[in-house]
Each structure stands twice: as structure tokens, then as C-alpha cells.
Chain A
Amino acid sequence: MKVLSKAKLESALNKLSDKNEVFVPMQKGERSGYFTWKSFDNGQDELMLDALNVYQSPKNVVLPQTEKMYSIKSQGVEVNIDKTYEDAHPTIIFGARGCDVKGIIAMDDVFLTRGYEDSFYKARRSGNVIIANACYEPGANCFCNAMEVNSLDPVGSDVILRDAGDGYVWEVRTEKGEAVTALIADLLEEKEAKLPEVKPFTQKVDYSGVAEKLKDMFAHPIWDKLSQPCVNCGMCTYVCPSCYCFDIQVKMWGDEGYRFRAWDSCMFEEYSREAGGGNPRGASKERFRQRFLHKLEFFKERYGTPLCTGCGRCIIVCPTDINIVRIIDAVKEAEINA
């Protein structure tokens, strides 16, 4: 096996950071998420490769919170788009858990298929390499196994790391992975390593049949009760590794400016508000239902896999204890009156 000893981890990250922007899971001051290795501050920050996960997902690397699209210059009747801002600079997500990798793979389905390839996402993704961190001990809120994620061998990873105590087993999966491995080839050793024990999931979730059942539950009274505590704060959508909805807006200073896109959330009232004032999802309950149907049913119907990746982040951050697992349970138990 190829092994990267933990003593050499820093050197490896430094070497990779030469030609790539390397994102690692980090506790950076008050924030917990994926930040660049170059910005790591030894005094303040802490590397979180050995923690279960971090609060903000790495989706920011391929779908940034804010992304410039194209420049606009308008003078009188003339208007020009001088440049578009596709950015294919090489990036590496180092140490993503299976749930986060699935989030990005799901977004590949959205942005790169169905007749149109989003040029901005495509550029970022083409330069992006995913080095996954195989997960041997699920957390209290984890349920990725129920959501079609293989936490030990995440589909879509270019390289898989396995934490074997004093080193990471380094498993290459794709050509992109080969290329990245070549950059640190001299830091890898060929030796045997003992893989950790695979611990079981403590949270049992049964998602089977839920998508099919939800097809008939749009008008079900269950949504009234489930949505009652929700304040539509939007935190769930922002920490979710697979929420991708975006808004497109314009920023102008006089005659010049640019169009950009930014994260949006189906939880916000104006998300579906039409110019004439109509809003098919004006009530809190309707937006709540939209989010869960999208995660658990619509996405599976359209792309063949659920959009929820079982990472458990929304369960931790929700201020009013909305829990997608309890919702799955409630749907399973619900009676449908024909």
C-alpha cells in the first residue's frame, strides 16, 4: 500500500499547494469549514482531518457562495460583455468525507447534464480534484449509508485516504488522482498499514420506499405539523453539502459592473416570488415541504439518487430541532388516505 505518514502531511500539503489551491477541513478561529492550506495559521487554526467533519461543506470550492459570471459595460444604447469569468484554476479538496463527496457528485448531475453544461461550474470542476477521507466511525447524526453513500469508498473520489493511525493509506482511483499523486510521489512510502475497524452507524434510518411514498403525499396533512416550528432561517440549506440553488443578480457602478450568482435558499420567502406579486410558495409550510420533497423525492425521481447525503449537519444546526431523519420516519409511518 502507498502510505503518507502523518509526519509528512504538512510537507505534502505544502507541495500540493505549489501548483494547486488546496482546501482542507479546518477550525479557523470561530469558523469551521474548508479553507485553503495556505491560510492556515498555526497559532489560531486547527486541522480537522481527524475529526468527523466540519460545519461548512466543501461545496464552496466548486460552487462558491458568490461567483462572478460576466462583465457588463453599458453606455447609452450600447452594451458589452467584455469578459466572462470562468475559473478553471487547479483546486484540491483534501480530506472530504463520503457525504461531502456525494454532494459534489450530485451537483455534477445538476450542472453538467440535461442538455446544458453550466460553463462556470464546468470550469471549476474541471480543475478540481477530490481527495476523499474514508470514514470508519460514523457520528451520532450520520446516516449516509441509508442515502446511497459508501463512506468507505466514496464514488467520485480521485484519491481515497484511509487513516491508519500514524499514516494515511493513499489509494488512487482516477487519472486526475494519478496526476496529483505524482506531485508528492517522493513523500509516499510503500508499506503495510493496519486499517481501522469499521464502526457501525448508531443512527438507524430506513429510507427504502420513502421516495415512492412521497409521490402521493404532496397534500398530506403531515406537513402542517412538521413545518410548524420552522422559522425558515435557511441554515440547513447553507451547511448542506448538496444544496445548490442559486440566485443571479447584477452589481453595477454607474456604467460598469458584472453579473454574478450567489447561494440562494428555497427557505426564503422571495425565492419563488413572481414579479407580478404571486408566490406559489409564499407560506412557510410550502417552502418547508419543497425542501424536503426536493431532497427526498424530486431529485431521486429526476436523477436517480436522493439529494440528501446523510451528513447530519442540518440536524445539528437547526435552532428548532427540525430533523430530516424524523421526517423520514414520519413519512414511513404516515397513513395515506386514498
Chain B
Amino acid sequence: MPDQDNKCTCNEQPLVPTIVEVIDIIDRTPDVKSFFVKNTDGNGVPFQVAPGQCGMVSHLPIGEAMISCTWQEEQEYLEFAIKRVGLLTDELHQIEVGQKIGVRGPYGNGFPVDACKGKDMVFIAGGIGLAPLRSFIKYCFKYREDYGKITIIYGSRSKADLCFKEELFDLWPKEPNTEVFVTIDNAEAEWDGNVGFVPTYLEELSPSSNGAIAVVCGPPIMIKFVLKSLEKMGYNDDQVITTLEMRMKCGIGKCGRCNIGSEFICLDGPVYYLKQLRDLPPEW
């Protein structure tokens, strides 16, 4: 993590990526793929990532995009879950295992994993928003005794669009003192789970705000409604954490475009307590 005002503690050339190899690609949904990267010599990963941090992933001939690192498995790999939305991600979805790509990072402030110790964790995500939260969820499971009850509420457009199905239906519900609730927007055949939007489902489930921290990520409109619901349910501003997104180019707080107020989302964020967000202009 960079020092605030001191010399760069990482790469001497922060805008130049490290070349890594894609060692595996897994299809998560029709438009989301997980890319697993490792150093080209097979030894280790290019940098250590804390939960919630991101990396600038580039397919060098095309461009770069800031993608949250959904998990770092020790020195084995970094996993980036990438949704196909634009120029770069389109191209990335067409590469194959063995392709060399660029990454640089880690960027961002990450989730406050230490401050949340001892709390009940309520993770609320929509669509690809589960990817950044997954890094925190898996961290909690890795250090299970440090955290209280874990509730995961996740929704997506359709059954096919649910990311990380194995974790959602198989692995996570088996963890101690953990409940997983999944919903999809519209009813469909072969789905007998909940149907409805995440904010509505959240209010129905109403996880207690007592000693709890809610961590929210998803499309901006979902975040807005979830924050309203959480307020209704009695969550204080310092009990709610979210992770924001803006268009980013440099990733290191220099190019100017990802700012909300005087904060750069790539550098000072993207993780914010709701309390901090109240001080920022409502540009998210």
C-alpha cells in the first residue's frame, strides 16, 4: 500500500505494466469470465493484493481497464472476474490460456478487514458486484473465527447471470454460521429460489443491524436503493461500506478523471464507509 506523501513504495514506473501469463480461464456467466494470472516464469504473482484492491489489467495492443481482484490465492494466482462490456473486455474474452497480458497494481485502499473483526458481516451484491465482495467474503472464511455471523444476499438478472455459482450454492452455505440468499429479477423455469430485486429481498430478510457491517456492491442504481433500505433497517452510516466505480485510466490518481470531489476513486477509494460518502458530492 502506498504511503500518503512519501516516495513510491511500489514499482518505479507505476504506469508500465508487468507481463503475466493467463494460466486458466473459467466461464462464470455468459458474459463474465474469471482470468487467473501468474508470473511468466511460473513463480508467484506480480504483486500482493489485499481484499478490495484492484489491478489495471491490459491486453497490451488494445488498452487497460481497472478490474477488482476477486481473490489472491497465496502465490498461486491472482483471479480477475471480468465482465464483457466494452472494447478491452471484448478482446479479453477472446484470448486463450497461455496468453500474456499486462497487470499493474495493487491499486485502491481495500476493505477495512481489521476494523470489521468481531462483527456480523452482511454482504449485499448485484450482478458482477459480487466479484469485489468475494475477496472480502473469502478472506472472512479464511480467518473464520475473526468474524461473526456471515449473511450473503446476492441477486442477478437471471439464473445464467449468477456469478460464482459453486460458491453460492455449494461451498459458502456449508461454512459455519453462514447464510446465503440468492435471488433473480424475473421468474424462470428451473428456478425455485427467490424472485425479486436485491433491495426488496434485503428488506424481507432484514438481517439485524446490531453489531453488523453491511458491505454493498453492484450497479449504481442498486447501491442507491440498498443504501436506502439499510437506513430504514437501522444501519448507521459507519456500519455501511460500499465500493465505487468511475472511469479510470492511470489508476494512480494522476490523470484526473476518476475524481468524486477531491478524492480519486482509484487511489483514495474505491472502498468507502457511507459516512465518508456523505461528505462527497453526489456524483456516484
Contact = CB atoms under 8 A, between A and B. Distances in A.
Chain B interface size band reads 35 or more
Contacts of B283: 218, 280-281, 286
Interface in A55-108: 69-70, 72, 74, 77-81, 84, 86
Contacts of B10: 116
B281 A248 contact: no
Interface in B2-28: 2-10, 12-17, 19
Task: Describe B's contact surface by its main secondary structure.
Answer: loop
A272 interface: yes
A219 interface: yes
Contacts of B267: 114-115
B112 interface: no
B257 A245 contact: yes
Contact of B253 (A79, A114, A248): A114
A252 B259 CA distance: 29
Interface string B66-101: 000000000000000000011111000001101111
Nearest to A120: B15
B14 A248 contact: no
Contacts of B98: 77
Contacts of A78: 100
Contacts of A246: 249-250, 254-256
A79 B262 contact: no
Interface stretch (A23-31, A131-139, A297-305, A317-325): A297-305
Contacts of A205: none
Interface in A275-306: 275-276, 278, 280-281, 286, 290, 293-294, 297-299, 301-302
A264 B245 contact: no
A274 B13 contact: no
A80 B101 CA distance: 9
Given A77-B96, A84-B13, A274-B245, 11 more contacts: A77-B99, A79-B60, A111-B254, A117-B7, A117-B8, A119-B14, A119-B15, A218-B261, A286-B283, A290-B259, A301-B261
